Amino acid sequence: MSVPPLSVLSVLFLLVAGVLAGFINTLAGGGSLLTLPALIFAGLPSPIANATNRVAVFLQTAVGSVQFYRKGKLEPREALILGFPALAGAVLGTLLAVDIDKALFDKILGGVLIVILVTLFVRPSMWVEEKRRSLPLWIRIPLFFAVGVYGGFIQAGVGFLLILSLSLAVGYDLVKSNALKVAIVLLFSGMSLLIFSVSGMVMWVHGLVLAAGNMSGALIGVRFAVRRGAGQVRWVVVAAVAVSALKLFGIIDF
């Protein structure tokens, strides 16, 4: 597919958007609501932008996972156990060729974000205090499979869904939940990237420029999470959820 070459302005725009998205994605989610418009601004059609965005997501989560592991916040075994259902779902989501009503889907996701936002205020201990729990496998597997389907299909906003799912399924605080979330996204975003790449939908130059910003933002996000703790991370999640919900409902535009 022919796309215009990257201009200096587009490169700078992608780098800045990448840093912000990498930070937000590592702590909460919704960074793709910044990077997808940035890629479209750089001249990519929206389906190609959706595919190319996975380059940055994959490399960002690789950096974030390594950093969380080094700081003792990530258990690889648990990430694999929870990540495989999401990986299977992502394969289906990426391969889906159905025509969905994006406007309706955005409203549904916006409603989910409102529920998350309410629980952040009504039940803050659910996110800040670690209360280990383990939902039965017959609940966890379809739950993470469904999140994987969404992540493979669209990606934008999947971090919020994973944080909520992890809080319900394992009861970690926000720092450990974010570490698991980043590792799970690494698993299924790699598969999505492979499928999109084989399909010829990935513009690698655009994706790698964006990824440079994303990886820098991820490094900053991990340090913030570990140093500030779950209480401070909660407020970043509140802001990211609120802005993303307003964006999805069409109240604000950027």
Q: Let me know: does 172 contact 130? Beta carbons within 8 Å.
A: yes
Domain-located, residue 253 = no
Q: Write down the pLDDT at residue 245.
A: 65
What sign for the dihedral angle of Cα 140, 52, 45, 159?
Answer: positive
Q: Domain for residue 2, yes or no?
A: no
Rg of the chain's alpha carbons, rounded to an integer?
17
Q: What is the spatial distance between Cα 18 and Cα 63, in angstroms, rounded to a whole number?
A: 14
pLDDT in tens, the chain (254 residues): 567 778 888 899 899 989 988 888 887 777 777 888 888 888 888 778 888 999 999 999 999 999 999 988 888 988 898 889 999 998 888 876 345 565 665 666 566 667 666 665 655 554 445 555 567 778 888 989 998 988 887 776 787 788 878 877 777 777 888 889 899 999 988 988 998 899 888 999 999 999 999 999 999 988 887 777 656 656 666 676 676 667 666 676 65
Which pLDDT score is estimated for 128? 47
Instruction: Determine the pLDDT at residue 159.
Output: 79
In whole angstroms, what is the distance from residue 218 CA to residue 243 CA? 20
Domain membership of residue 188 (yes or no) is yes
User: Residues 235, 174: contact at Cβ < 8 Å?
Assistant: no
Look at residue 33 in the predicted model and tell me its pLDDT.
75
Q: Does residue 3 sit within a domain? A: no
**How many domains does the chain fold into?**
1
The three-state (H, E, C) secondary structure of the chain, written as one string: CCCCCCCHHHHHHHHHHHHHHHHHHHHCCCCHHHHHHHHHHCCCCHHHHHHHHHHHHHHHHHHHHHHHHHCCCCCHHHHHHHHHHHHHHHHHHHHCCCCCCHHHHHHHHHHHHHHHHHHHHHCCHHHHCCCCCCCCHHHHHHHHHHHHHHHHHCCCCHHHHHHHHHHHHCCCCHHHHHHHHHHHHHHHHHHHHHHHHHCCCCCHHHHHHHHHHHHHHHHHHHHHHHHHHHHHHHHHHHHHHHHHHHHHCCCCCC
Q: Is residue 196 part of a domain?
A: yes
Residue 202: what pLDDT?
92
- pLDDT at residue 221, rounded to an integer: 85
Assigned domain for 110 exists: yes
| Residue 205, CA distances (Å) to 20, 94, 154 in order | 19, 22, 21
**For residue 38, what are the domain limits?**
8-248
127, part of any domain: yes
Q: Distance between CA atoms of 53 and 189, rounded to whole angstroms?
A: 10
Query: What does the alpha-carbon distance between residue 60 and residue 62 come to, in Å, rounded to a whole number?
Result: 5
Residue 233 lies in a domain: yes
Whole-number pLDDT of residue 168? 76
Tell me what pLDDT residue 62 has.
95
